[in-house]
Amino acid sequence: MEVGGEAMMRVQALSEAGVSQVPPPYIQLPHNRPQLKFNTSSTSNNNQSSSIPPVIDLFNFKPNCRDLVRESIGRACREWGAFHVTSHGIPTSLLDHIKAAGLSFFKHCPIPDKLKYSCNPSSFASEGYGSRMLLLGKDDPHNEGNVVLDWRDYFDHHTFPLSRRNPSRWPHFPPDYREIVAMYADQMMTLAQKLMGLISESLGLRSSYIEDAVGELYQNITISYYPPCPQPELTLGLQSHSDMGAITLLIQDDVGGLQLLNHNRWVTVPPLSNAILVILADQTEIMTNGKYRSAQHRAITNATQSRLSVATFHDPAKATKISPASELVEESSPQYREVVYGDYVSSWYTKGPDGKRNIDSLLLN
């Protein structure tokens, strides 16, 4: 196994080379290190909410269940900024197929073949195979000392609008990879639109409010692969952040490692094979004038097993301006400055997320 040059940049290559210690750029500052106890049950210092994000049955969007579903969604958005959904209409087989295709690419495609799909490391959110989420490194003069590399490799796919979709840039292996990603993208888009409708209604807004405010939806699908890590107590698979756009739909394999911050406590989200996790992102926090908060989350690693997740992001176009809904501002004063989404994205990628620092910097009071 080559462990030099470009392959050295890949976390999988480090892991497979059998390093016994995590290299310094991956070592988190002490206050960011995970407490490695899989915490899916309540702890004594928190009795304000249940211990895991709620699981909401969508009853396949049957009109006569809409009131009930809307109410559960409103509560989950207020308490967690995230919730699982079941009876969502996406076949479990498709969820399994995309995870299997991703795993097959990471596990069975040789690294030199994978490198043919490398993303452009000097531009953010570029399509392809990569390992570094931020442009900033530990030695960058703009790095305030808190950006550490993630113990993760990923493949980012640009899937909507269709003008951005070019399956020839996606892995050719396994042979049905491209077809599965395209099918998954289409179904996730439909689900995201329906969920945005319910979330809008749960705030007393018209069903199309969030979708109208976001405009043409940009969808990216990121398959993340977290190789086994020799010192999981020192590292993070993915640093603490909230997502930038409107909503994210996430599935994970059965290894577990996604954590959500709830009442200042990191809670491990249990993998549920047929459920999809809905994560509210920062532009939704702005549009709802802070009535709903974006969910701060991170991924931890473990010493023995690799882990895979598929996150589907639904975002505004870069030129879109996002501000609190006037209907929600009448009740209180605006809590956030208006932002041009593209400016928000550049700032996120150059400063780093550091939890929710980017959205917090838009707060007016």
Ligand X SMILES: O=C(O)CCC(=O)C(=O)O
Binding interface with ligand X (CB under 6 A): 222, 224, 238, 243, 250, 252, 258, 297, 299, 309, 311
CB of 141 to ligand X, least distance (A): 26
CB within 8 Å of 99: residues ≥ 6 apart: 251, 253, 308, 310
The span from the CA of 25 to the CA of 151, in Å, is 10
Q: What is the DSSP letter of 40?
A: -
Nearer to ligand X (CB atom), residue 73 or residue 250: 250
Parallel, antiparallel, or unpaired for β 55-57 and 82-86? parallel
Q: What are the two backbone dihedrals, phi and then psi, of residue 64, each rounded to the nearest 5 degrees?
A: -75, -5
Nearer to ligand X (CB atom), residue 201 or residue 285: 285
CB of 58 to ligand X, least distance (A): 21
The span from the CA of 18 to the CA of 365, in Å, is 50
Nearer to ligand X (CB atom), residue 200 or residue 252: 252
The span from the CA of 365 to the CA of 347, in Å, is 20
CB of 151 to ligand X, least distance (A): 11
Nearer to ligand X (CB atom), residue 72 or residue 296: 296
Nearer to ligand X (CB atom), residue 289 or residue 306: 306
Distance of CA 118 to the CA centre of its chain: 20
CB of 273 to ligand X, least distance (A): 15
Nearer to ligand X (CB atom), residue 105 or residue 209: 105
The number of beta carbons lying within 10 Å of the beta carbon of residue 187 is 19
**Cα dihedral 210, 239, 170, 112 in deg (nearest 10):** 170
Q: What is the DSSP letter of 318?
A: T
The span from the CA of 231 to the CA of 304, in Å, is 10
Nearer to ligand X (CB atom), residue 196 or residue 310: 310
**DSSP helix, strand, coil percent of the chain (3-state; round to 5):** 35, 20, 45
CB of 226 to ligand X, least distance (A): 7
